[in-house]
Amino acid sequence: CLIMQHALFIYLLPLSVDPASTVSGLLSIFHEQELTETIHDTDGHGYLATFVGKNGRFVVLRVHSQGLVTVDLQFYEDDDIAQLDNLLNALENKLKVLLNGNITRIKKLPALLRGAKVDRYWPTADGRLIEYDIDKVVYEEDSEYQNIKILHSQQYGNILVLDGDVNLAESDSAYTQAITGSGKENYAGKEVLILGGGDGGILAELVKQKPKMITMKVIDGCKKYMRKTCGDILDNLKGDCYQILVQDCVPLLKKYVQEGRTFDYVINDLTAIPISTSPEEDSTWEFLRLILDLSIKVLHPSGKYFTQGNSANLTEALNLFEERLGRLSCPVDFRKEVVCVPSYLEQWVFYTAWKK
């Protein structure tokens, strides 16, 4: 069952609307569409009514005493779209007459689709809702660590979604470039540790430079459904200059610390900086701190640590992360780079850190 929802917002001058008279002037339009109203008590906070039609249409009309009129129209996908557009247009034109030019702004939103087999709506890191052109689910599983989806977008190609967060699309080579140093690093003959990176994009990019050895983890579904990102690099767990480990990275890092093993580059592609700015209430911050501290301990004195940050709009969270960089087991310097990642639809911050 697919349900569409249109929304119409009328912004008014403060206190320029009388809810009762405004609604009475609109009733004839609803009645023409054979919609029956039910008025709800709002305890003096404007006017609220719902309208139900025989064909399944459902309208919520709200007139706020502070100066806002909202109309939400729900209908089935096979309904007469032209007729519904005429209904919204008639309501808009009638309100212009009833409110005598006191309207400051009118906004009509396109329809939202509910109940579809494929979810097209995903939030950005800073809380905005994005509708993608996703037309199918190509892969889904619950691993030991997370829910994994790979969705197909007509514009961005296949998109890896982990626990409900858009992680990487086949269009997002800008992400891979940024988290590996934006082409400014020479990986030839170097020891590299990749934490996460299960889509294979970082590994596929770095093996071109013939490093001495790359060690990383992998997400199984990506080797089949993200091949524009990883190529055939994930087909084998071991190659001439890389090895892929399917295991938790924390015990591995602790083992490397005990052995005194170091890497020229550590690339942390496990998770973005948490949105929460209350570390004591968010265990993700503790995980990030642990990974960060262990990563610096296995970093060669002249090595570099790369990681993604988060949306450039999340300044408080980014500042908190930068404070954490100043409280590690050894002092570090860092720089950051802001990059536009296509499928994220927002500017994304990347960090490079090194020991002083």
**Active site positions, annotated:** 269
Beta bridge partners of 129: 123
First-to-final CA distance of the chain: 60
**How would you classify the pairing of strands 103-114 and 121-123?**
unpaired
Q: Report which secondary-structure segment, H or E, holds 63.
A: strand 58-64
Helices 283-297, 315-325: crossing angle, 10 deg rounding: 40
In angstroms, the CA 55 to CA 63 distance is 25
- In this structure, which amino acid lies at residue 160? L
In angstroms, the CA 348 to CA 356 distance is 26
Q: Structure tokens of 34?
A: 């054979």
Name the 3-class secondary structure at 39: strand
Closest CA to 104 of 11, 31, 192: 11
Name the 3-class secondary structure at 173: helix
Q: Are 198 and 224 in contact (CB under 8 A)?
A: no
Q: Report which secondary-structure segment, H or E, holds 113.
A: strand 103-114
Beta bridge partners of 96: none
Q: Structure tokens of 302?
A: 């002249």
